[in-house]
Each structure stands twice: as C-alpha cells, then as structure tokens.
Chains A and B, each alone.
Chain A
Amino acid sequence: MAADKVDPIHQFQIHPIIPLHIGGYDVSFTNSSLFMVVTIVLASAFLYMSTSSRALIPGRLQSVSEMAYEFVGNMLRDAAGKQGMQFFPLVFSLFMFVLVANLIGLFPYFFTVTSHIIVTFTLAILVIGTVLVYGFAKHGFGFLKLFVPQGVPGYLLPLVVAIEIISFVSRPVSLSVRLFANMLAGHITLKVFSGFVVSLSAFGAVGIAGSVLPLAMAVALSALELLVAFLQAYVFAVLTCMYLNDALHPSH
C-alpha cells in the first residue's frame, strides 16, 4: 500500500524540515509545523490587513473580518452570557485557527494541520483545561455541582453523577475526534476519488472517458469539504462556548 502511487495516507505523513531534538524528544520543525505557521500568518495577516483602514463603512474584506468577529461574539454571548465575553479572545482564536487550517488543507499538496488527532486533542485539552481551571478558581468546590443536576431523586443520584462525570471526561475526546475524523475522512475520500481519475486515465481513451465520473465526484466532494471545513470550525467553537458556560454557571 505504501508503495502505491495514489496512497491516500501519504498526505498525512509528517516529515521534518529542520530536525531538532530537545531533551530526548524529537521536536523537529516539520511540514505540520510549517502549515501551523502558514495558518497563523495567513489568518493574522488577513485580519490585520483587512481592518487596517478602520473604515466606518467597511469594504468587502473588512466585512468578512467583522462578520467573523461578530459571529463568534454572538455565539459566545448566546451560549455563556455577558460574563462569557472574557473568553472571547480564546474562542475567536480557536475558531479562526481551526477554520483557516481546515481551509488551507483543501488546497492540493497542502498539509492539513487538523487532520492529526494530537493537534485537535491539544486544542480540546486547552478548552477543557480552561473550563477546569476557571471553574475551580471561581466557584471552588462549588464547581463540582456541575456533576449533580438539581431535582434528581436521591436513589438515582449515584448513577446520574457517574454519567455526568463520564460525559465530562469524554468531552475532550469527542471534541477532538469529531474534528480530526471529519478532516481525515474527507481528505482520504477526496484522495481516493482523485486517485481513480489518475489510475483510470492511464488506460487510454476509454479510461479517460471513464475517469469523468470520479472527477465529477472529486469536484462535488471538494465543495462538501469546503462546507465541512467551515462547519467543523463552527461546531468546535460552539461546543467550546457551551463548555465555557459550564465553567461560568456550574449549577444547571
């Protein structure tokens, strides 16, 4: 499989660009790191340049930046209320990072940062870590009320608390796996269909005629992936807002 020309897994391989080892760990600057840098530079540059004129009546690019800002702002305000706005920078940078990383990954030959579970899991841990640290700092042990819903009969309480704890612990897993699996599966599917086009067109005229079908499929999938790229960034941000709401208001 690895020797195959259209190996769909090849795109996820990480290879070092600048080898670097610190304390026995391989922390080389890899293609993944490169695209993280590309992601933040592109996103920052867009947000910075588009708003540089500070126009009262925004141009197209400034409108896009403002829309993203207000979109995330409203999302957070709806989910976590006015108090939640202190997490606005975190949610906004998460949304922009995931969105731009997903979108960059759609370009041919580009590496998709979010198609690696460790990246999405680190982001998820960042979110849950913020929830835990803030929750305990603000409410002390009152934060544990999060696991004890009100109005539950006493004999059911142990069961409900266990379920609540399990659901809380599974949050970083579900949050990270959702994004990672979507990006991974989407890119593999795209690669497989594009691979069909290449393999089929090697069989001469008949093959080229036959390759129209997977080509059309690849085009349609590209559109779908564009939607998924946006949708997953949105879902990630929305869930972040909801989890942050738990940190702010632990008693349901």
Chain B
Amino acid sequence: MSSQLQQDEASRSVLHRIMGGSSLVALLAVVLSIVLGGLLIAVTDERVAEASSYFFSRPGDLLSAAWEAASGAYIALFQGAIFNPGADTLAQAFRPLTETLTVATPLILAGLGVAIAFRTGLFNIGAQGQIILGATFAAWVGFTLDLPPGIHLLIAVLAGFFGGALWGFIPGILKARTGAHEVIVTIMLNYVAVYLVAYLLFTPAFQNPGSSNPISPRLDDSALFPLLLGSGYRLHLGFLVAIAATYGVWWLLNRSTAGFELRAVGANPHAARTAGISVTKGYVVVMMIAGGLAGLAGVAQVAGTEKVLTGGIAASFGFDAITVALLGRSHPWGVFFAGLLFGAFRAGGVQMQTQTGTPIDIVLVVQSLIVLFIAAPPLVKAIFRIDRKKKKKPTKPDQSSEDTTTTTAVGGVA
C-alpha cells in the first residue's frame, strides 16, 4: 500500500500545483484566453484577410477589420449569454442569462464531482460516464414508475445520484483494494457507459415504443424538474439543486469530519494514515460522492433540459467539468462561478455563430487555452510580469536544497 501511495505522489504534486494557484492567476488565465481567442477570430475572419492583402498601403484597415471581427463576435457572445438589448421586453432581454444558468447547471454539478475528488488527491476523469449512468437511472425511474408528483421527482433524483455513485464506486473500490489507477479505470468506464446506454436504448425497457430511433420515452411530468420562470424559459429547478449541492460540498469539505478526512487524505495520505484515518475508505467514499454529483448533472439533463434519454445526453459536460473544476481551483464556490462562465460561453457561442458566422468551436479553443494557462501559472505570471519577487520567496534557505534532494533521493529509491 505504501508503494501505491508513493506512486501517486507525482500526480498529487501536479494537483497541488494546480489547486495552489491563486484566484488572480485563474482570472488572468481567462482574460488571456479571451484575448488570444479574439486574435484567432480576427485571423480567420474573411474581411481581415481581405484587408491584409493591402496592408502596406492602408494598415489601418487591417487593424479596424480585426478589431471589428473580434469585438463583434464577443458582443454577440455576450448578447447570447447575458443580456440582449434588442429584445422587446426587459424579461425577454434577460432570456439569454437564463439560458446560461440552464447550461451551467450540469457543468456545476459535474464540476463539483471532479473537484471533490481532486481535493482527495484523485483524478476523476469519469464524470462523463457518471453523468450518463445518472441520467439513465433517473430516466428509467422517470418514464417507468408511476408515482405521485414530488415523490416521483425525488426518487428520480436519488436514482440518478445512485447511478453516478455506482459508476464512481467501481474505480474507488478498485483503487482501494488493488491499487488500480483511477485515471485509467474512469476513462475506460466512460466508454463502457457510452456503449451501455447505446445498447440499452435498443432494448424494450428503454426504447420508445413504436420508434426505431435510439431514444427513450419522454419522462413523466411528475418526474421532471419544474420550470422556475414559466414555460417561456428553460431554466428549471435543477439550478437550485446545483446551488444546494455547491453549498453541501462546501459544508462537507470545510465543516464536517468526513471532509476533514477527505482533505487530509488528499493533502498527505501518509499523515492521514498515521492519524488513524482510513485512506482506502476515503478513496471509496469520495469516488461515490463524486460520481453521485456527476449523476445529478445527468438528472439535470434528462429531467430538466432534454426530458428524454438519448445517447448524447451527456454532450461533453463530463470533460468540460474537469476544466470547470480546474478553473474553480477545486473550491466549491470557485467551481460554481467557473460553471457559470462556461455555461455563458456555451449559451453565447450559439448566438455568436448565427449572428457573426464565427464558428462555435472558437469557444472550445478559449476553454482549452484557459486550461493550458491554469496548468502553467508561471507562464501567466511571466506574461503579466507579476509576482517576480514573491516567486522566489517560498524557497527557504538551507531547507530548500535539502527538500529537493530528499525528493530526488526518495524518487531514486522508489
């Protein structure tokens, strides 16, 4: 077991680096990515290309075309994500914001699932599969069982949590018992989940009767999240569940004995073990909670937004959740706001594409750049020329050299 702990040391130090970054770095990473995204929009814009052909005679044209392309795209993104000034009524003008919240809901829930595992020192790459399982369990309850309103939804939500937790339990118990690395197991379970749901949707238990498409029946109304703002908006109760879950995870991590154990296991499993905390139990428990949270994201999708189970129910939420957790530095409220930001990107991206012709893929590029910058805080700091002096401070004299030599020595022996 101790050798397994040592094995994980490397990945843990990566985690600590990512989580140890300041909020400032996260913020700057976002700013930097948006600027670079803007450059990319400008470079690929047709009018910019045109203007560049006569750059030397009228350089101003190129610059203004580039500025217009980038700012136009981002304004469209903003209008699609937050506030649309061209709408007839004020309520209509804020419709984009409700879209953002709707899309952010599964991102936040799955992001929390990834984050809580991070805090325990585990890379949960399996949110995608856990969302699918959660959605599948909730959907089955939703269209098969016949229960009174309220109770039906509650059971569906619990079933979704259970489905995700099951998909988290497998890598958790395998890690605890056999030392199987959770990254490998969760990635593989993502594939299993994708093909499992694809198979289920062709079985009588799941396929909509009379249809040859791999789509489930619509969930009963009693199992759906009620809409929060009436039928004109898609925003549903799932968003409040996401808020509650964020608070719940915060409380669990910072105020409960279980969270104390999980954080201790994540920060230093050796010390946790010596203090009588069961590291293996921590792994199993946290993976079940992580899976359950991602499962709730699946419920939000199937019982809130989509209302039917399809093979693409999880979209790419499970993978975006990893980015969300990183951007939120694995702190529950950080994840919440990172989820909102990514929800805005997604909701606004559609508008941007239709309005300015800028491909929605640019949003993906921006998201990817954010991850890249967060993973490399020194790069961000160098670009903004901050923290120059502070950077060297933590290396204490005398000890620093001993510390580095210790790690090499340990690494060498192991």
Do the two chains belong together in a single complex?
no
